[in-house]
Amino acid sequence: MIRLGLTGGIGAGKSTVAATFVDRGAYIIDADKIAREVVAPGSMGLTQLVEAFGDAIVAADGSLDRPALAAKAFADDASRATLNGITHPLIGARTQELLDAAPDDAIVVQDIPLLVENHTAPFFHLVVVVHADEDLRLHRLTTMRGVDEADARARIAAQATEEQRRAVADVWLDNSGSAEDLAAAAARLWDERLMPFEANVRSRTVAVPIPALVDADPNPAALPSRLSNRLWAIVGDKAVAVDAGSVRGSIPRLRVTVRDDDAASKLVDLLPAGGFPAVAEGVYGAADPGRPAEVTVVVTD
């Protein structure tokens, strides 16, 4: 199994990519859908929100009146913290339930509009960003979705910048063309990279890098940082340091320093599951054919 984080600015075309992945067999987890589900009529989430913010946040049909909630929940930092304290654990628990139910050979696609803003990129095997220039997104929102221009500009401005998205992106899908072009690009990504990546993780096989995929990295300068952050997410408190190290040819070389042999032994399973199968004792490679890496685990002196 691999987990893919799918994100992109409003109006970029993320839904087209998600639909293409689903058609090819993806196990989809939609963050927005979960956020609505946990506060649906009759849910514990809605009950807790009413207890915190009052009956006025409930519409006549028993559903959550989101504008009414927003007026109360975003009035100050304390109210916002109350809202997050109710919804975030419920969203997290439901997401984990869906992850636990995924098949062992699944390519799990987590559709998360605010993935960059929430700083969760390192927790995915791969992050895919769907991008379109701001003017094009504005045109789509106002003409295709009927969003007021001022509202559309405000929504775009409130989200992550192109630079911030590019810093965490492993794959950059440009949607300046047609929906058919974007769907075709997503299908190629699925066939050429995602399926081999998942099979390699499951079989604990180091990938043979595919030059075209490697060369398509949206931000090569940030690759060592992305890999370091990914390794930290995998190893957690079992490591005392993760160093980006050097580059051998086009292959970043990273080092994970652990406290003792017991911690090193735990990484024997954690690193392959996270996308870095073993090459030799204490040495790991990348299962992703588009993102080669060499990882060495050393015990601190």
User: Last residue of some domain: 200, 234, 254?
Assistant: 200
In a domain, 209, yes or no: no
In a domain, 183, yes or no: yes
What is the pLDDT confidence band of residue 250, given thresholds at 50, 70 and 90?
confident
Residue 154, CB-side half-sphere exposure with 13 Å CA sphere: 5
In a domain, 193, yes or no: yes
Helices and strands, counts by H and E, the chain: 13, 11
What is the pLDDT confidence band of residue 249, given thresholds at 50, 70 and 90?
low
User: Last residue of some domain: 200, 226, 243?
Assistant: 200
> Does pLDDT of 52 surpass 70?
yes
Give yes or no: residues 167 and 239 share one domain: no
Give yes or no: residues 155 and 252 share one domain: no
Give yes or no: residues 226 and 283 share one domain: yes
CATH code of the domain covering residue 288: 3.30.460.10
CA–CA separation, 17 and 132 (whole Å): 13
In a domain, 11, yes or no: yes
Give yes or no: residues 144 and 289 share one domain: no
Whole-number mean pLDDT of the chain?
93
Residue appearing with tokens 């993102």 = 291
CA–CA separation, 197 and 273 (whole Å): 11
CA–CA separation, 198 and 301 (whole Å): 36
Task: Report pLDDT for 11.
Answer: 85
> Does pLDDT of 246 surpass 80?
no
Give yes or no: residues 12 and 151 share one domain: yes
More confidently predicted of 245 and 113: 113
Give yes or no: residues 28 and 177 share one domain: yes
- CB of 170 closer than 8 Å to CB of 51: no
CA–CA separation, 153 and 203 (whole Å): 46
Give yes or no: residues 86 and 168 share one domain: yes
Give yes or no: residues 166 and 292 share one domain: no
Give yes or no: residues 294 and 260 share one domain: yes
User: Last residue of some domain: 135, 165, 200?
Assistant: 200
The amino acid that residue 273 corresponds to is A
Q: Of 81, 52, 49, whose CA–CA distance to 65 is shortest? A: 49
Give yes or no: residues 12 and 59 share one domain: yes
Give yes or no: residues 276 and 163 share one domain: no
In a domain, 170, yes or no: yes
- CB of 255 closer than 8 Å to CB of 295: yes
What is the pLDDT confidence band of residue 142, given thresholds at 50, 70 and 90?
confident
Residue range 88-105, pLDDT digits in tens: 999 999 999 999 999 999
In a domain, 42, yes or no: yes
In a domain, 57, yes or no: yes
Query: Helix, strand, or coil here: 129?
Result: strand
CATH code of the domain covering residue 195: 3.40.50.300
In a domain, 210, yes or no: no
What is the pLDDT confidence band of residue 196, given thresholds at 50, 70 and 90?
very high
List the domain range (segments joined by +) for residue 271.
217-299
Give yes or no: residues 184 and 270 share one domain: no
Q: How many domains does the chain have?
A: 2
Residue range 126-140, pLDDT digits in tens: 999 999 988 888 888
Of 17-26, 211-220, 244-253, minimum mean pLDDT range: 244-253
